[in-house]
């Protein structure tokens, strides 16, 4: 038989009696002949010159020759042509130490039938002494069925792995589509909420004054307005969660250590979990730094802690651990979006009720929840997915019903040293007298922005589109200190408006405003250098603080 080009079956006769030889007084006795023919494997033996001296019944069936046809023939007749040239060399090597052993360990052996067909073989060698000489025999087994079964198992395993990867890719594509939809919806909602929040604030001021003076129905109206304001605030939080899921939220990443993030929020998590849940933190001894938004990572931990608490109503354990992980190419290839290289692992594990496989497959979808109506928005895990994906990381959920859940997060490690950001000082003066050009295509939003600025001392010029804004920038006789423009508008986008206005007024400062900031974001979700952004919806206080910061800061180029 042959393994590639040189593996062979060799059976020979030696005239010495080396160690390991089995002594048999008469290898051709009826008893021996009966034992050989009863053997389940083909058995073939040859003399020292390589000619066949022994053939059993199974060998006849396997190779298609009769005993008479094989006796005296060279053993190469049973070997594929590719291995015949080197066969005598292998035979000689075995004869120098004819120990019982499998032939061609680690090699693919093959035999050749009378009709020229070949088959994969498994061969064991044994030296037998009889009639004054040593007969080296080989037990030969056709392993075609075994190899085919093994190949079928490998095919089925590869098919299962391929289906799993395809399912993960399909889920990733579905979540990407949902993210795009969520971002667009959030943009429209933020414009509406900006109008609702600020006009409600205007009405609230009047009603509050009347309630202090007259009470009665005015006081009831004031309480009603407070309900509207609380609902608007809740809706604002939901839109921010939608933007985070869709990776459209503005982030402020920096080089940081995950252990520091966990430590800074640990006490708040303990209060959130309650006394019935034990919190265990296991930080890595020397965690690699990552580049991410600390506030968003804290939101991830809070969302996962709340989910874990709800899954353990009778109490349990929540474990947060970090570790350094080197992701290899084969592992990354099985997980869409994950890249090979150094990562920091953040795992959040609970001992709660767990989830079914179907629930796990949909857990990251927005508004999908297994909680009863009114107990959750269904955006907690969706927000986690969006935040980690925007940071270039990967998130997976492992869960078994009754055994708990583990959320595994991988964030790319970076070179650098974690540095705490400088504290932001609170500015006391928010009013001013500068001239501001407001560009907003939504009429109600344009008017409320004008009103908020005007009542705080600013001179306000408004434009409904980019073309009108450029005209005003050219014709206005006095200085315009600030361009406050929406990002997404018909015909001309906010960035183009800023470019055109700066041609005529190079020293003007620019502040973008948008509920959907993606068009002014860099590829990693951060603002392009030199850009200032006011997120919608905004309150009067937030608007004035941002305007003041841009006016008092350096002119961006």
Express each pLDDT in 254-271 by its tens digit: 899 999 999 988 998 998
- Predicted pLDDT at 1: 45
SS3 of residue 553 by DSSP: coil
By DSSP bridging, strand 435-439 and strand 533-535 are unpaired
Distance, CA of 203 to CA of 216 (rounded, Å): 17
Residue 296 gets which letter from DSSP?
Answer: H
Distance, CA of 531 to CA of 55 (rounded, Å): 89
Domains of the chain are 13-142 (3.30.450.20), 162-245 (1.10.287), 254-412 (3.30.565.10), 435-552 (3.40.50.2300)
* Residue 256 backbone dihedrals phi, psi, to 5 degrees: -145, 170
Asked if the peptide bond before residue 556 counts as cis, ω within 30 degrees of 0, the response is no
Distance, CA of 323 to CA of 281 (rounded, Å): 12
**Could you tell me if 531 and 499 are in contact, meaning their C-beta atoms sit under 8 angstroms apart?**
no
In sequence order, which residues have a C-beta less than 8 Å from that of residue 289 and are 6 or more positions away?
A: 255, 256, 257, 413, 414, 415, 416, 417, 418
- Predicted pLDDT at 210: 84
Distance, CA of 204 to CA of 233 (rounded, Å): 15
**Could you tell me if 288 and 325 are in contact, meaning their C-beta atoms sit under 8 angstroms apart?**
no
pTM of the predicted model, to two decimals?
0.53
In sequence order, which residues have a C-beta less than 8 Å from that of residue 451 and are 6 or more positions away?
A: 198, 202
- Predicted pLDDT at 13: 42
In sequence order, which residues have a C-beta less than 8 Å from that of residue 542 and are 6 or more positions away?
A: 534
Q: How crowded is residue 293: how many other Cβ atoms within 10 Å of its Cβ?
A: 21
Distance, CA of 278 to CA of 526 (rounded, Å): 36
Flag residues of the chain having pLDDT under 70.
Answer: 1-29, 31-32, 103-107, 129-132, 165, 167-185, 187, 241-252, 371-378, 419-428, 516-530, 556-557
In this structure, what token pair is assigned to residue 296? 């968003």
In this structure, what token pair is assigned to residue 394? 């990967």
For residue 439, the cross-strand partners are: 463, 485
Residues in the chain, total: 557
């Amino acid at each position: 038989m042959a393994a590639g080009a040189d593996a062979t079956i060799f059976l020979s006769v030696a005239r010495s009696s080396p160690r390991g030889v089995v002594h048999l007084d008469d290898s051709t006795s009826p008893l021996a002949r009966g034992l050989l023919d009863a053997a389940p494997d083909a058995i073939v033996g040859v003399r020292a010159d390589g000619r066949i001296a022994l053939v059993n019944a199974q060998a006849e069936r396997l190779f298609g020759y009769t005993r008479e046809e094989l006796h005296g023939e060279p053993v190469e007749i049973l070997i594929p042509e590719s291995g015949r040239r080197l066969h005598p060399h292998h035979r000689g090597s075995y004869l120098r130490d004819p120990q019982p052993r499998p032939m061609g360990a680690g090699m693919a052996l093959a035999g050749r039938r009378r009709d020229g067909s070949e088959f994969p073989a498994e061969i064991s060698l044994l030296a037998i002494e009889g009639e004054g000489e040593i007969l080296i025999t080989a037990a030969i087994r056709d392993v075609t069925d075994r190899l085919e079964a093994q190949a079928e198992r490998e095919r089925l395993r590869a098919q299962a792995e391929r289906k799993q990867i395809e399912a993960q890719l399909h889920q990733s594509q579905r979540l990407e589509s949902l993210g795009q939809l969520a971002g667009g919806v959030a943009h429209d909602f933020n414009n509406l909420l900006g109008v609702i929040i600020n006009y409600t604030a205007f009405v609230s001021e009047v009603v509050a004054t009347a309630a202090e003076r007259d009470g009665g129905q005015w006081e009831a109206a004031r309480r009603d307005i407070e309900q509207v304001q609380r609902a608007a605030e809740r809706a604002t939080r939901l839109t921010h969660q939608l933007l985070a899921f869709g990776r459209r939220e503005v982030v402020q990443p920096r080089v940081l250590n995950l252990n520091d993030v966990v430590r800074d929020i640990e006490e708040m998590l303990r209060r959130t979990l309650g006394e019935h849940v034990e919190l265990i933190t296991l930080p890595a001894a020397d965690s690699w730094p990552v580049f991410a938004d600390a506030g968003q990572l804290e939101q991830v931990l809070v969302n996962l802690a709340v989910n874990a608490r709800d899954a353990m109503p009778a109490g349990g354990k929540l474990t947060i651990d970090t570790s350094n992980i080197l992701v290899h190419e084969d592992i990354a290839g099985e997980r869409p979006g994950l890249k090979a290289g150094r990562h920091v692992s953040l795992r959040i594990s609970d001992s709660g009720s767990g989830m079914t496989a179907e629930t796990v497959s949909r857990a990251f979808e927005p508004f999908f929840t297994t909680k009863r109506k009114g107990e959750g928005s269904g955006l907690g895990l969706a927000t986690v997915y969006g935040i980690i994906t925007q940071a270039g990381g990967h998130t997976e959920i492992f869960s078994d019903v009754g055994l708990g859940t583990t959320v595994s997060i991988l964030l790319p490690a970076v070179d650098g040293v974690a540095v705490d950001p400088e504290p932001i000082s609170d500015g006391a003066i928010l009013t001013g007298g500068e001239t501001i050009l407001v560009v907003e295509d939504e009429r109600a939003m344009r008017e409320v922005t004008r009103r908020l600025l005007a009542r705080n001392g600013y001179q306000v010029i408004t434009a409904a589109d980019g073309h009108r804004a450029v005209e005003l920038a050219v014709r206005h006789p006095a200085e315009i200190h600030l361009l406050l423009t929406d990002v997404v508008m018909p015909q001309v986008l906010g960035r183009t408006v800023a470019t055109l206005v700066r041609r005529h007024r190079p020293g003007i400062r620019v502040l973008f405003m948008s509920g959907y900031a993606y068009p002014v974001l860099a590829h990693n979700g951060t603002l392009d250098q030199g850009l200032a952004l006011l997120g919608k919806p905004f309150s009067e206080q937030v608007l004035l603080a941002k305007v003041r910061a841009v006016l008092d800061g350096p002119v961006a180029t």
